[in-house]
Amino acid sequence: MGNGTRPGLSSGAPFVTHPAGIADDAGRVRISRADALVFEARPQHGAPRVLRMRSVRDGMGAANRLAHAVAAVVLLLTSVCAVATSVVPSAFAQGTDAGSTSSSDSSSAASSDAASSGTDTIYTTATDADSWSQIADRVATELADAQADYAAADYSSAYSAAQRAYNQVYVASNLANAISTTDQASYTSQTQLFQTVSKLTHTQGNEAQLASDIAELNASVSASAAALDADSSVANPRDYAAQRLAQIQSERETLDANKKRVNNGKGDRTWSDVASEMVTILDDAYAKTEAGDGRAGSDLVNEAYYQYYEKLGFEKNVMNAISGSRVSQVENQFKTCRKDMVGTTGASLSQTKADVESLKSMLVEDAAELDGGAADSVSPWRRFFASAFGQAFIILLREGLEAILVVAAVIAYLVKTGNRKSIRFIYLGILMGLVASGIMAVILNMVYGASGSNQELVEGWTAIAAMVMLLFTGNWMLSKSSVDSWNRYVSTKTKQSVAKGSVMSLAMLSFLAVFREGAETVIFYEALLGMMSGSSHDVWVGAASAAVVLVIVFLLIRFTSVKIPIGPFFAITSAFMGLMVVVFAGGGLHELIEADVFDGTYVPGWPTNDFLGIYPYKETVAFQIVMLVAVVALFAVSTIRRRRFEKARAAADGTAASDDAASAEPAEPAAA
């Protein structure tokens, strides 16, 4: 251990180094190593050189820990996004809603050769039976278990048994499909009874009604199974499953082929023509639902939404020429119709029909307004938004401005901190974001038919990841918003640490900002070009004009912000990033709601602002409020800590100045 003179004491009391910091001879720690002590030797008016301590907060460790934490969060969210993108679509495709035959279609195909597990009675496979009557007996066994569990007041187990009877036996064995094909009336009655039985298991006091409905359901299923066994044209469960699998594969190939033909663009059609085609699809969707095939109806609603309303630019044009609130209203109506058809909302057929008719009316009205209606009443602004030039200009400006703001703030920060060499990493992040956007657009077009729920999954999770990075980056910047804090930061060379380590997290932030908007922009331009019956000149001129505006905005933000003094710069940048946290929270969750990852509760009359991430859903509003509180809380804590440290620093500097002044006083002459 080293010895020396404890600074600030005229007596020159000895001190020793200590694992926890600097200690005096009594072992008391005087100054913690957490303050990253830096020692200087300087003469005191001819006096022997003494050590003077300067307390500087070392941000190097904190910066590195922050970079590692952010990288871990981004990696985790990216993994979740990848898993959700690959798993969720198939999960939604299969569904377990009781009112839907298509759940029987997709589930039966998926489980024809798969083992049924997690049940009290384990069957080798759902379709492993010599006759349909054996399947009916399995249904009866599960329903008997449900009735027994209910009698024992184990309502959750009773409900699970009832669900197994429907999903893992009735549907997965293809019995539901076989009955719906040969006797639609019996199938409809049976699915309604299954729903009733499941509902009865939730509450007590339904013993008699439950027993009656289960007996009726067993009798109906047994009779239908016996009729299938007697019908020589219907194969046994094993062979029927093989036939169904082949049929579904053939139908899927046909759908894929049709999907490619649908995506040819708007062409010479008016918006009223497009709306008329959507109306026809919605009519077919309701017809499927009325026939008992709710899942097929829901799929057709998705086709109208993704392949027409989104893909052909109907949504963007309504947003630009009418209002964002109108888009939210129509999107919610699409979602309501879809849920009605799969039985999620418990709506009757009459209510489902009313919802479909309401959606059709909205589409027809909006199309008429987009086409101009009475031409004289259309304002110049709406003519601009409806033109090829206007649409190309607005699409790129809307999608690019958000990314530009984030990237410009990051680059301005690096310039301000003297890390100009690191800007190349930000540009690399932008380039990679553009490349990834193009690749993602191609994948979405090839695999998912473009602009589907999977695109919204990617956009949603990417926005959430960017939100997390913005939250921590903005909070860190705020901690450097005072000149004193910044000087300490620079003096300990933490800026080199940021340049080498945390700059990669900033590059990742620029990548996410570009990637989130890029794929959607590529897809919309592809659709826009498909709409043009003649030359695409106006589209490219509109895109080039928007690009020029974005470049000007970027240059203004960058070179204006660089001239701002240290304190205001970091305070303004932190406030901006806090705002973007709230924007990304609303936008990201909205995309996930549209992708059916989360349910959304629509709030009529609530304003919609796509640029600010404001949408009329209780969940998005609540999430934005939560993130706003988190931003304010983190910023408040950071500000309080910084001010406390500055106060302690000022007090320490004042004490050191007094000690220096005292040590500089000339010594009194010795007495004669």
Model confidence over 241-279: pLDDT tens digits? 888 778 777 766 665 555 444 444 556 678 888 888 899
Contacts of range 5-8, beta carbons closer than 8 Å, 24 or more positions apart: 5/50, 5/51, 6/30, 7/50, 7/51, 7/52, 7/53, 7/656, 7/659, 8/53, 8/655, 8/656, 8/659
Average pLDDT over residues 302-327: 81
Q: How confident is the model at residue 212 (pLDDT cuts 50, 70, 90)?
A: very high
Same domain for 121 and 146, yes or no, is: yes
Same domain for 270 and 418, yes or no, is: no
Q: Which domain holds residue 149?
A: 112-238
Same domain for 618 and 510, yes or no, is: yes
| Neighbour-count burial of 464, counting CB atoms closer than 10 A to its CB (0-12 exposed, 13-18 middle, 19+ buried) | buried
Same domain for 283 and 163, yes or no, is: no
Is residue 471 in some structural domain?
yes
Model confidence over 324-349: pLDDT tens digits? 788 888 988 998 898 889 886 677 88
Same domain for 608 and 553, yes or no, is: yes
Same domain for 70 and 194, yes or no, is: no
Q: What three-state secondary structure class fits 672? A: coil
Give CA–CA dist 581/114, Å, rounded. 44
pLDDT surpassing 80 at residue 132: yes
Is residue 36 in some structural domain?
yes
Is residue 513 in some structural domain?
yes
Task: Give me the number of domains the chain comprises.
Answer: 4
Same domain for 290 and 427, yes or no, is: no
Predicted TM-score (pTM) of this structure: 0.42
Q: How far is CA 105 from CA 87, 158, 166, 247, 252, in A?
A: 18, 26, 13, 10, 12
Same domain for 286 and 433, yes or no, is: no
Is residue 487 in some structural domain?
yes
Same domain for 391 and 365, yes or no, is: no
More confident: 251 or 70: 251
More confident: 544 or 638: 544
Is residue 526 in some structural domain?
yes
Model confidence over 4-34: pLDDT tens digits? 444 444 334 443 444 444 444 444 444 433 3
Q: Report the sign of the C-alpha dihedral through residues 204, 207, 211, 213, in that order.
A: negative
Cβ–Cβ under 8 Å, residues 616 and 606: yes
Same domain for 119 and 73, yes or no, is: no
Q: How confident is the model at residue 392 (pLDDT cuts 50, 70, 90)?
A: confident
Average pLDDT over residues 117-138: 70
Q: How confident is the model at residue 662 (pLDDT cuts 50, 70, 90)?
A: low
Same domain for 560 and 482, yes or no, is: yes
Nearest to 174 by CA among 232, 134, 213: 134
pLDDT at position 139 is: 93
Is residue 40 in some structural domain?
yes
Model confidence over 393-411: pLDDT tens digits? 877 776 777 677 777 777 7
**152-166, 412-426, 443-457, 482-496: least confident range:** 482-496
Helices (H), 202-323: 207-230, 237-262, 271-290, 294-303, 314-321
- Mean per-residue pLDDT over the chain, rounded: 70
pLDDT at position 659 is: 61
Is residue 660 in some structural domain?
no
Is residue 88 in some structural domain?
no
Same domain for 345 and 396, yes or no, is: no
Buried residues in 139-153 as b, exposed as e (16+ CB within 10 A): bbbbbebbbebbeee
